[in-house]
């Protein structure tokens, strides 16, 4: 029997406990989840793609069925290449919905064989975003409950250079 495989693309700058929550939820549905760090041309990222991949790899090290990769092209093409039939996207609030729905419909138009599903993080992580966590860190706030410990350390190191 063919494994149920999904990809979870995002910028993950940095990976948060909300992202990890979605990965764990996806593992309850899929046999394999590939977390894909996308080079997002519309975002100014703090961490390089290589750094983000390393941070996620450490964060998911104990999760069976999860791998981490990066991509520099269309998500649907990557999904086809990896034989994944599903793209996972997270929804936190209604403000996410318009953008995510537009992207899902565009991906469907590009490749009908790949479907998008939306997952919501648990209530304890619903409000988290990488952008918000970076803002809190820049202003000297405690981010330890929002990100894995190694991510908090790397974020503080990175921000101390500014």
C-beta of residue 59 within 8 angstroms of C-beta of residue 47: no
* SS3 state of residue 49: helix
User: Residue 155, class by beta-carbon neighbours within 10 Å (0-12 exposed, 13-18 middle, 19+ buried)?
Assistant: buried
Catalytic residue check, 125? no
Candidate list 11, 52, 70, 130, residue with the active-site label: 130
Catalytic residue check, 124? no
Q: How far is C-alpha 91 from the chain's CA centre?
A: 11
**Cα separations in angstroms, 108 against 36, 62, 90, 114, 154:** 18, 33, 17, 7, 37
Catalytic residue check, 92? yes
Candidate list 43, 50, 83, 131, residue with the active-site label: 43
* Residues 53, 49: Cα–Cα separation, whole Å: 6
Candidate list 39, 92, 108, 158, residue with the active-site label: 92
Candidate list 19, 52, 89, 125, residue with the active-site label: 19
**Cα separations in angstroms, 38 against 60, 89, 122, 144:** 17, 13, 24, 25
Residues recognised as catalytic: 19, 43, 92, 130
């Amino acid at each position: 029997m063919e494994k149920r495989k999904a990809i979870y693309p995002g910028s993950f700058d940095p990976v948060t406990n909300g992202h990890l929550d979605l990965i764990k939820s996806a593992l309850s549905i899929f046999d394999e989840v590939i977390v894909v760090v996308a080079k997002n041309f519309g975002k100014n990222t703090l961490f390089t793609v290589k750094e983000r991949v390393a941070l996620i790899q450490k964060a998911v090290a104990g999760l069976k069925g999860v791998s981490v990769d990066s991509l520099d092209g269309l998500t649907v093409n990557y999904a086809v290449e990896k034989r994944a039939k599903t793209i996972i996207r997270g929804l936190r609030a209604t403000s996410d919905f318009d953008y995510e729905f537009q992207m899902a419909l565009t991906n469907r138009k590009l490749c009908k064989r790949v479907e998008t599903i939306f997952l919501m993080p648990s209530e304890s992580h619903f409000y988290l975003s990488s952008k918000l966590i970076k803002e809190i860190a820049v202003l000297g706030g405690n981010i330890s409950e929002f990100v894995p410990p190694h991510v908090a350390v790397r974020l503080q190191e990175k921000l101390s250079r500014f």
